[in-house]
Amino acid sequence: MPPRESYDWLRAHAVETATIGSALALLHWDQSTKMPPAGHAHRTAQVGILTKLLHERRTDPRVGEALDKARAELLREDPESEFTANVREWQRAYDRAVRIPTELAVATARAAAEGETAWKRARPDSDWQAFLPHLEEIVRLRREEAEAVGYANEPYDALLDEYEPGETAASLEPVLAGLRRELVPLLERILGAPRQPDRTLLTRHYPLGCQRALCREAVAAIGFDFEAGRIDPTAHPFSTRIGPGDVRITTRYNEHAFGEGFFGAIHEAGHALYSQGIPGAHFGTPCGVSVSLGVHESQSRLWENMVARSRGFWRHFLPRAEERFDCLRGVELDAFVLAVNDVRPSLIRVEADEVTYNLHVLLRFGLELALLRGRLEPRDLPGAWDESMRALLGLTPPDLADGVMQDVHWSAGLLGYFPTYTLGNLYAAQLFEAAGRELGGGPQGLDERFAAGDFAPLLGWLREKVHVHGSRFVPRELMRRATGAELGHEAFMRYLTAKYEALYGL
C-alpha cells in the first residue's frame, strides 16, 4: 500500500476507533449523572468490553504496518502539516498501546470503574477500609503499566506522559519549587492584610433554581454553545466531549455556597469551549483532539479565575445576579468582588482560591511520586496526607471525606494527573498576559471588555492560538507559539501579585 493510501487507512481506522471511544465517554458521563445505583455492575462490564475492543483496535498490527509506510512520506511533508502531526501522534500512541497487554488495559479499566463506584459509596462515611482494597488494586495496576510502557528516569514519568506529553517529574519539580517559594510569602501578606472580605456574602441563601439559571446565562455569555452541549448536576464536576456537536459539562450546587456551583460551571465551561473550538472535521485524528490536560486546564482556569473572578465580569453580572437573588440586593460591587476572591487556607482543592490552590496540587504531586517510587503504600496515605496538609496549608482534616478521600482521581486510576492542574494555571497566566497585549490595553483592556459583556475577542484569540491546532504541536511548543514565552511561574506570579495587592490593599 503506498504511503498516502496507508495514511488514508489510518485516518479511517482512527475515526472509527474514536467513534467507539465516544460511546465509552457517553457511558462514563451517564455513570456520573443519571445512572441508577443498581446499574453499576452492568456498567463495569460494558466499560470492560469496550475498553478491550478499543485496545485491540489501537494495537492492531495493521496500524503498525500502515505507520511504517506512511512515515516514508514524512520527508516530503511540511513538518507542521496535518499529515506530519497525525502520523507523529499516531506513532506515539501506538508505541505506548502495544506495550500494554490487553489483559492489563481491561483490568485497569474495570478497576477504575469499580473504584469510582466504591469511592462514591465510601466517601460520605469516610470509610477508608471499604475503599482501600480498590485503591490498592488501582495503584498496583498503574505501577504495572508504568513498567510495561517504560521510562528513562522513573515510573512516574510513564504515567505523566499520558496526560502531558513530554513532561517528566524532573522537568516539573524545579518549576513547582520556584512557584512554592513565591506563593508562600504572598499568602502570608494577604492573610495579614487589614482589608479582608465579608465571607458571609457567598454563604447566604441562594435558591438552586436561580443558581442553575444564572449559571446557564453566564456560560452562554462566555461562548458555550447549548446547541452543541448541555449542563447537568453531579457529585464531582467535569466536562466531557462525546463527539462533534456534543460537549457536556456538569457542576454541583449548594444553597449556601454560591461559588461552588457558579465557578464550577464556569471552570467546566472553559474546558468545553476548548472542546467546542476544535474543528469537527478533524474528529478522530490527533489534530482533532486537545494536546494535553495541562493546556486543557489552562482554558478552564483562565475563564474561571482570570475572567469570572475579575471586577469587569461582575460589573456586568452582579446586576443580573441581584435580579435572581434577594440576598444580593444592595451589595456593593467591590465587596462582592473581594468576596469571590477570598484567600484563606482550606481543606478542599476544588474550593480553594487561586493563591492556595497550587499548594493542594503540590501535596498530591508529592504523594503520587512517593507511591510510584515505592516509598509510600496506599494504606499509609491518610497519615501522609494529613502530615502534608499541615506542612503546606497549616490544616488538619477532621475526617477522611475532606482529606485523602476528597478527590475522585485516584479512584478512577488517574495517577500522574494532578500536576496538569498547576501547569494549567501557569499556562493560563501566560495566555492571558499575551491576549491582553495582542488585543490591546493589557489586563485593563480585557477587564473593560468583560464589563461590557464582550467576551468574544478573548474567545476568538484563544480559538486562533490554541483550540484550532488540536495536537498539531506538542504542549510546550504550542504555548511558545501562542505566548512567546517558555513555561515558567513568572507570569502567574505577576498576575497574582498585581491582582491581590489591589484587592487587599497591600
What is the pLDDT at residue 75?
66
Last residue of a domain, one of 163, 188, 221: 163
Same domain for 115 and 193, yes or no, is: no
Going 415 to 419 to 424 to 425, the CA torsion angle's sign is: positive
**Collapsed DSSP state (helix, strand, coil) of residue 341:** coil
- The secondary structure of 441-477 as a DSSP string is SHHHHHHHHHHTT--HHHHHHHHHHTGGGTTSS-HHH
Helix (H, G, I), strand (E, B) or coil at 232: strand
Residue 76 has pLDDT above 80, yes or no: no
| 135 and 182 fall within a common domain | no
| Eight-class DSSP state of 338 | H
- pLDDT tier for residue 77 given thresholds of 50, 70 and 90: confident
How many whole angstroms separate alpha carbon 352 and alpha carbon 421? 13
Helix (H) or strand (E) holding 239, with range, is: strand 239-243
Beta strands 246-251 and 229-233 are parallel
| pLDDT value for 4 | 86
**148 and 86: one domain?**
yes
Q: What is the pLDDT of residue 317?
A: 98
Same domain, residue pair 156 and 268: no
Counting Cα atoms < 13 Å in the Cβ hemisphere of 300 gives: 26
User: What mean pLDDT do residues 464-470 have?
Assistant: 98
pLDDT in tens, 208-240: 999 999 999 999 999 999 999 999 998 878 999
DSSP H or E run through 247: strand 246-251
- Nearest alpha-carbon partner for 495 in 219, 293, 310: 310
For residues 439 and 446, what is the distance between their CA atoms, to the nearest angstrom?
Answer: 8
Q: What pLDDT digit, counting tens, does each position of 425-444 carry?
A: 999 999 999 999 999 999 99
Say how many C-beta atoms besides its own lie within 10 A of residue 216's C-beta. 15
Structure confidence by residue, pLDDT tens digits, 28-63: 999 989 999 899 899 989 998 999 999 999 999 999
Residue 25: pLDDT above 80?
yes
Is residue 201 within 8 A of residue 339, CB to CB? The reply is: yes
Distance separating the N- and C-terminal Cα atoms of the chain: 68
Domain at 256, CATH number: 1.10.1370.30
Q: How far apart are CA 202 and CA 256, in angstroms?
A: 7
φ, ψ of residue 327 to 5 degrees: the values are: -70, -10
Q: Are residues 215 and 250 in the same domain?
A: yes
Of 163, 197, 220, which residue sits at a domain end? 163
Strand partners, 398: none
Rounded alpha-carbon distances, angstroms, from residue 335 to 105, 253, 330: 51, 23, 11
| pLDDT > 80? residue 8 | yes
Do 327 and 455 lie in one domain? The reply is: yes
Q: What percent of the chain has pLDDT over 70?
A: 100
Whether residue 382 is found in the same domain as residue 417: yes
More confident residue, 350 or 316: 316
Q: In what order do the strands lie in the sheet with 239-243?
A: 229-233, 246-251, 239-243
Which domain does 404 fall in, by range?
Answer: 171-504
pTM: 0.93
pLDDT of residue 371: 96
Assess whether 310 and 367 both reside in one domain.
Answer: yes
Residue with cell 471586577: 311
What is the per-residue pLDDT for 86?
Answer: 96
Domain end (from 138, 163, 188)? 163
Quickly list H helices, 251-401.
258-277, 293-301, 311-324, 333-340, 354-372, 381-393
Angstrom distance (rounded) from CA 141 to CA 405? 19
Residue 351 has pLDDT above 90, yes or no: no
Pair (158, 180) in one structural domain = no
The residue-averaged pLDDT of 339-356 equals 94
Question: Within this chain, do residues 452 and 390 fall inside the same structural domain, yes or no?
Answer: yes
Number of structural domains, the chain? 2
Reported as a pLDDT band with limits 50, 70 and 90, residue 452 is very high
Q: Are 85 and 381 in contact (CB under 8 A)?
A: no
Pair (83, 183) in one structural domain: no
Q: Is the dihedral of CA 295, 274, 491, 500 positive or negative?
A: negative
Q: Residue 179: what pLDDT?
A: 96
Q: Which triple of cell numbers denotes residue 95?
A: 508505541
Count of C-beta atoms within a 10 Å radius of residue 372: 24
List active site positions.
268
The three three-digit cell numbers of residue 233, written as one number: 448536576
Do residues 39 and 112 both lie within one domain?
yes
